[in-house]
Amino acid sequence: MTPDAQTQPVVDGVFADDPARLLGARCELCEQTSFPRLDGCPYCGSETITPVELSDHGALWGWTTVLHAPPGYLGSVPYGFGIVELPEGVRVVTRLAVPEDWWSFGQPMHLGTAEVGVDPDGVVLTTWEFSP
């Protein structure tokens, strides 16, 4: 990416990229933390939620390798895909940064961002990913 290239998250409002943080919510009624951030609590239905930035680390809980590009995906394959459990107890479905033979259950993982393609207007699309 050139220094002047325009970047944009693949989905707005899900993560911040400097520093990388996932944007979740904490319910004031049942005290559960959730991701992604919704208008209400997915556990109890309360609309009294507080926006929170989630931890930038967690433990690998499950994984696989994506060999064929999903519809609309502009990046390269293969890539890792899995679930990382954060200290808040939230399990995040995520892209994984390194080949499958690096992964093991419970492995400490750290949050970062990745470029996943360029749209027709030349904007570089980014998403979150975890790496060991």
Residues that bind Zn ion (CB under 5 A): 27, 29-30, 41, 43-44, 46
Query: Cα dist. 74→5, 10, 71 in Å?
Result: 17, 11, 9
* Residue 27 or 111 with smaller CB distance to Zn ion: 27
- The burial class, CB within 10 Å (0-12 / 13-18 / 19+), for 77 is exposed
* Residue 31 or 119 with smaller CB distance to Zn ion: 31
Provide, rounded to whole angstroms, the least separation between the CB of residue 90 and Zn ion. 13
At 96, list the tokens: 């994984």
Q: Letter for the amino acid at 45? A: G
Provide, rounded to whole angstroms, the least separation between the CB of residue 71 and Zn ion. 33
Provide, rounded to whole angstroms, the least separation between the CB of residue 38 and Zn ion. 11
